[in-house]
Structure 1
Amino acid sequence: MRRRIELRAARTLRLEIVFAAALVAWLLVRRSDAAGLWAALFSLVAALAGLLVAVRWVRRGLRKLIWRLRNRLLVAYVLIAAVPLVLVAGLVAIGAWILTGQIAVYLVSSELDRRAAHLRALAYSLAATPPALLAERIRWVGSQFEREYPGLELVAEREGYRWSYPPGTTLGWPAGGWSDASGLVLREGSLYLWAHFRQGGAAVAIVAPLGPESLAGLLPKIGEVSVLGPPDPLTRQSRRARLAFRRGEQGRDSYGSGLPAPVNRLDREVSYAAPVTVSLWDAPGRSQKHILLVRTRCSAVLRTVFGQTVEWREGVSTGYVAGVLFLAVASAFLIVELVALAVGINLTRTITRAVHGLYTGTQRIMGGDFSHRIEVRGNDQLAQLSLSFNRMTENLERLLAVAKEKERLQSELEIARELQSQLFPRAAPAVRRLVLKA
């Protein structure tokens, strides 16, 4: 047995020596001019040996840690309960991040699509307007929708005549080849919402720059929104085209109406991106994939989605009912978790108390104290085990007392035998006898 222990210690020390030697050799080689293959080799050996040493020391530490039953039960509870809870919490957090980001991007994209469809409908209606009424119609459209689309510009052409809004605008026609198109367009390095319609002799083009005012009214209080352009093939860095921006107090660019304030500590910032198609003004039929980036919070998305609630009665809305139900379910879960924790702690204390009592009793018996008794609590199997241990110690104590009594009697008999052998002669003495004969 001792020989085996010495061999195991030598193997452990040998692995640590290999790790230390490989590490020192790697440090020396990497500083020399011959670094390369040898440095990679020594680093690989050091990494593998270090991993094995770390695993071995971790196993030793775990063995020492879980030697006691209480620590073993705690480790088991951690692996059975705590680790799954952490994984579930992580899964919930990732799911909330994905869901919040997806909804935020969907809301922004849907609003952009809705506005682009609105501009397309305006272009169709202007193209169908008779030429005699087109000038008045264009002025009415510009005055009515300039607040919704700040910086709105439009140009129309019919039978060789040209109308534009506002008067004197420099908006021209896109490159030849565009027919019906709408959505986002990149024009002279800036992003616009646009709609273009051409049919027969009628042509209409409408553009609205995506500035701070337009984005502020896009989705109020949703957060910060920006568009990242395609990567530059030379620098491999994204060129940012601003959807809307305002200069912050510290000189940085912020987008949209600003990131909403958190409602609590769990209301973390969520950044999510999705690709959007941006047409090129000077390249008919061509487009680029840009990245729509939204920085928001879960509370902001919930406020946007459930901003309009149904009032069941005065002071009671759908959002209020949902909040109350959520708090009720969360409170029920918390109560169940606390009760389960209390029950688990009680069971753990019962098991560890019984095992500790048995361990203490065996140590006392090994020391010769057969009068020790374990305190018995409850009426379960552990209590029966403790009771059986007490009965066993009682029987052992009784048998030990009988053995001692027997030994005492045996020793007394030996003493009596020895006294008898000393006091009485070993053989009958020779005496004269009288023999009578008839």
Structure 2
Amino acid sequence: MGHLRNFETAVFRRVRRDPPLGKVHRIAFWLFVFYLALSAGRLLPGQAGVFFGGVSVLTLLLLVAFCIPLLWRWVFGRLMWKVRNRLVVTYLLMGLAPVVLFVTLASILLYVFSGQFAIFAASSEITSELGHIATQDRAFALHIAHMVAQQPKIKVVDLAEAEDSMPVHEDFGMTVAAFEDGQPLALTPSSLHDASISQAPAWYHDNDRGDRFKRIVIHEGKLYLRAIDTQTLGGHTITTITSLPLHRENVDQIARGLGTVTIVPDVQIDDDDMPSDAKPPKKVQFSYQRTARGVKVNGEDLDEMQTRRRSITGGMLPGAQHFYDVTVTFWAPLDTIDWETGKPIQTYAKVSSRPSLLYQRLFITSLKIAAVIQEILIGIAIFFGVIELFAFYMAVRLNRTITRSIRDLYQATVAIDKGDLSHRIQVTRNDQLAALSRSFNRMISSLERLLEEQRQKQRLENELAIAQEVQANLFPRGNISVPSLELHGACYPARTVSGDYYDFLVFGGTSMGLAIGDISGKGISAALLMATLHSAVRAYRFAGEELITAGTAALAIASTRAMGEDEVECGELFEEPSKILALLNRHLYRSTQPEKYATLWLGHYDGLTSRLIYSNGGQLPPFLLRADDSVTRLDCGGTVVGLLNNMSYEQATEQLYPGDILIAYSDGVTEPENEFGEFGEDRLLEVVRRHRHLSLEAISEQVMQSLRTWIGGQEQPDDITLVLARQR
């Protein structure tokens, strides 16, 4: 599978297309490859080529089947990518589709209704014509019966008087046959006499049709409207048969005001034509279909010319009055019987008309009302058209509103992606999309502000990183110690930079100055004040000429001559830490803001005598953990440094013995809290006492581990500074 996948990727990359991801896409690709291979196999001679050709055709069909959904996805993805096109399709589906379906249904119903109405009108005309013939036939029967009653021996009956008494009606070719007790009677004028009928049909008596009969019959291959009437008078039975042939002139009368009427006879559905074992149909079904050779009625082909010769067409279809005045063609069966046998023969009538003719036919008795109704319908149609145009205009406006808002949002995102945060969307409306655009503008403003803040924060972090690097250089670096004293110091800032301070100063290789302090506040301001304090302490360490009085200057010169130029130091001042604190207090008071101050503990260790002279300026008092586990607090001194002017400080001296540990710390060591309270001095002493046999660095790490455990997941609340010194 890996090799096939690599082949797919290589081919698509060759044509600069993305490799197929879906199963349908991959199957279509391999079907195409398979089809190409089979197409090459078609070139083989003989049965092999035929086989490959057949398989290639099947493969091509499968390929087309799989390509259809891919083509649909491609077209849909390309055309429907824009929201405008999606909205247009949505409007078409929601608005136009129901209208099209409704119009289609209405058109079908209107067409069917029009066809049915046309058939009904034609059938009514035929029925009316049959009724007229039946009326004339009865009149003839009564006249003949009256004449026979008056003249029993009469052989020729004159129908001129009866014909003149009938209402005027255009019946072309109407004929009459009369019988007295089954015997034919001669009639005058001869144009009315139908000599083709020698007697009444036998089925008429057998079926006992009654005294009135009016039907469409087929006699000797021709269609007739025929009526039979029987009158009994004076013991004689008079039977009259009146016929009207359905030729063009008479069909014109039927089709007047309808269009064209075509009657197709002799399409027979007869029980004799059915197999003996077949069941008779429950109902007659009619189907008419035009074919290339002619027409097909109920599935049987009829030659076109034969159909035309046997059919009778009358009437004329006028031109269309409007574009929608289409031709309406409908077929319907006519009940017809065979005059010889009395069996039913299915005859079909085709009516071709127009809606305008049917409309006039419908309102034939009130044309003025029809005109008014037509004008009202036209007005309603125009009104609906105006509403539809207005709805279309509103839909276009709404579509443009939505697409313009989305386009503006898209262009804004593109501009922002390119880094143009000054881009804003012009909002002129007051809707939800406008609110979205305003919200987007506010988001961009907030993003621009946040980015500016981020840049400022980044610059500040860079500056703090530089400050942290500078501050790291202020703390003692490397292993600083004297032969008789082991030293270690560590500072862990709560933020990037620390406000805590500690320092180690070596004097003459055997003595040591120790300092630990805490600046009020945190962050960069405390770090700057810490740097000031560090610089001041170092200044008093190296710039002794500003501090030495006239008496000590000579001593300094003598010491310089004795020790050399490289040993110009002021270690003697650190033998009195209280004076250094007083000088630092005056310096900070004069050079800093009133609310700024520092706590500072200074100590001077003499390696020759193992004595520690110290003074505490408001700092948490360090502990001196003796070798016998007793504890001494080094709290001699005074108040904080830099808060009040002209302050004096006391100092004290402690003798150190081997194993004694000095523990100096800031408030960040003892003040962290959890649900059990502060970490406290006792826990600090306990940790140091438990691990005093370890190196000072290991002891410091144990203290920090205990602090982290005590704090837990909370943020470090304050700077942590720890200084340890152990007498060797």
Q: Is this contact kept in 2: 1:222–1:260, CA < 8 A? A: no
Tell me which residue corresponds to 2:292: none
**Alignment match of 2:351 (pick from 294, 314, 327):** 294
How far 1:196 moved relative to its partner?
1.8
Q: Is this contact kept in 2: 1:101–1:272, CA < 8 A? A: yes
Q: Is this contact kept in 2: 1:123–1:196, CA < 8 A? A: yes
Query: TM-score w.r.t. structure 1 length?
Result: 0.80
Residues 308-337 of structure 1, C-alpha deviations (whole Å, 9 max, x = no match): 316xxxxxx202210221122112211211
Q: Measured at CA, do residues 402 and 145 of structure 1 come closer, stay the same or move farther in structure 2, by a change above 3 Å?
A: same
SS of residue paired to 2:307: strand
Tell me which residue corresponds to 1:227: 263
Tell me which residue corresponds to 1:109: 123
Is residue 352 of structure 2 the alignment partner of residue 331 of structure 1? no
Is residue 392 of structure 2 the alignment partner of residue 341 of structure 1? yes
SS of residue paired to 1:178: helix
Is residue 182 of structure 2 the alignment partner of residue 149 of structure 1? no
Q: Is this contact kept in 1: 2:159–2:189, CA < 8 A? A: no
Q: Is this contact kept in 2: 1:223–1:259, CA < 8 A? A: yes
Is residue 135 of structure 2 the alignment partner of residue 121 of structure 1? yes
Is residue 254 of structure 2 the alignment partner of residue 240 of structure 1? no
Q: Is this contact kept in 2: 1:210–1:244, CA < 8 A? A: no
How many angstroms apart in 1 are the aligned matches of 2:310 and 2:364?
24
How many angstroms apart in 2 are the aligned matches of 1:40 and 1:178?
69
How far 1:69 moved relative to its partner?
0.9
Tell me which residue corresponds to 1:14: 27
**Alignment match of 2:432 (pick from 376, 381, 390):** 381
How far 1:51 moved relative to its partner?
3.8
Tell me which structure has the larger Cα radius of gyration: 2
The amino acid that maps onto 2:359 is: L
Tell me which residue corresponds to 1:267: 325
**Alignment match of 2:98 (pick from 84, 93, 103):** 84
How many angstroms apart in 2 are the aligned matches of 1:229 and 1:40?
51
Query: TM-score w.r.t. structure 2 length?
Result: 0.50
Q: Is this contact kept in 2: 1:277–1:288, CA < 8 A? A: yes
How many angstroms apart in 2 are the aligned matches of 1:409 and 1:296?
93
How many angstroms apart in 2 are the aligned matches of 1:90 and 1:69?
30
Tell me which residue corresponds to 2:83: 69
**Alignment match of 1:278 (pick from 336, 348, 361):** 336
Residues 213-251 of structure 1, C-alpha deviations (whole Å, 9 max, x = no match): 212222423111112235488992246377975xxxxxx
Residues 362-390 of structure 1, C-alpha deviations (whole Å, 9 max, x = no match): 12222211111111121111111111110
Q: Is this contact kept in 2: 1:228–1:240, CA < 8 A? A: yes
Residues 272-299 of structure 1, C-alpha deviations (whole Å, 9 max, x = no match): 001111111211x311111111111111
The amino acid that maps onto 1:386 is: S
- Bigger shift: 94-103 or 427-436? 427-436
Q: Is this contact kept in 1: 2:172–2:250, CA < 8 A? A: yes
Tell me which residue corresponds to 1:139: 160
- Bigger shift: 427-436 or 406-415? 427-436
Q: Measured at CA, do residues 375 and 49 of structure 1 come closer, stay the same or move farther in structure 2, by a change above 3 Å?
A: same
Q: Measured at CA, do residues 165 and 301 of structure 1 come closer, stay the same or move farther in structure 2, by a change above 3 Å?
A: farther
Q: Measured at CA, do residues 435 and 241 of structure 1 come closer, stay the same or move farther in structure 2, by a change above 3 Å?
A: closer
Q: Is this contact kept in 2: 1:139–1:165, CA < 8 A? A: yes
Is residue 219 of structure 2 the alignment partner of residue 187 of structure 1? yes
Question: What is the aligned-residue RMSD (CA, Å)?
Answer: 3.9
Q: Measured at CA, do residues 111 and 231 of structure 1 come closer, stay the same or move farther in structure 2, by a change above 3 Å?
A: closer
How many angstroms apart in 1 are the aligned matches of 2:72 and 2:347?
49
How far 1:13 moved relative to its partner?
4.4
How many angstroms apart in 2 are the aligned matches of 1:152 and 1:422?
137
Q: Percent identity?
A: 27
Q: Measured at CA, do residues 348 and 259 of structure 1 come closer, stay the same or move farther in structure 2, by a change above 3 Å?
A: same
How far 1:407 moved relative to its partner?
2.7
Tell me which residue corresponds to 2:254: 218
Is residue 445 of structure 2 the alignment partner of residue 431 of structure 1? no
- Bigger shift: 425-434 or 212-221? 425-434
Query: Structure 1 unaligned runs (5+)?
Result: 246-254, 311-316
How is 1:396-435 mapped onto 2 (pairs within 5 angstroms)?
Answer: 396-412=447-463, 431-433=568-570, 435=572
Tell me which residue corresponds to 1:207: 243
How far 1:358 moved relative to its partner?
1.2
How many angstroms apart in 2 are the aligned matches of 1:91 and 1:387?
47
If asked which structure has higher relative contact order (CA below 8 Å, sep 6+), I would say 1
The amino acid that maps onto 1:170 is: A
How far 1:83 moved relative to its partner?
1.2
The amino acid that maps onto 1:215 is: V
The amino acid that maps onto 1:353 is: R
SS of residue paired to 2:347: strand
Tell me which residue corresponds to 1:56: 70
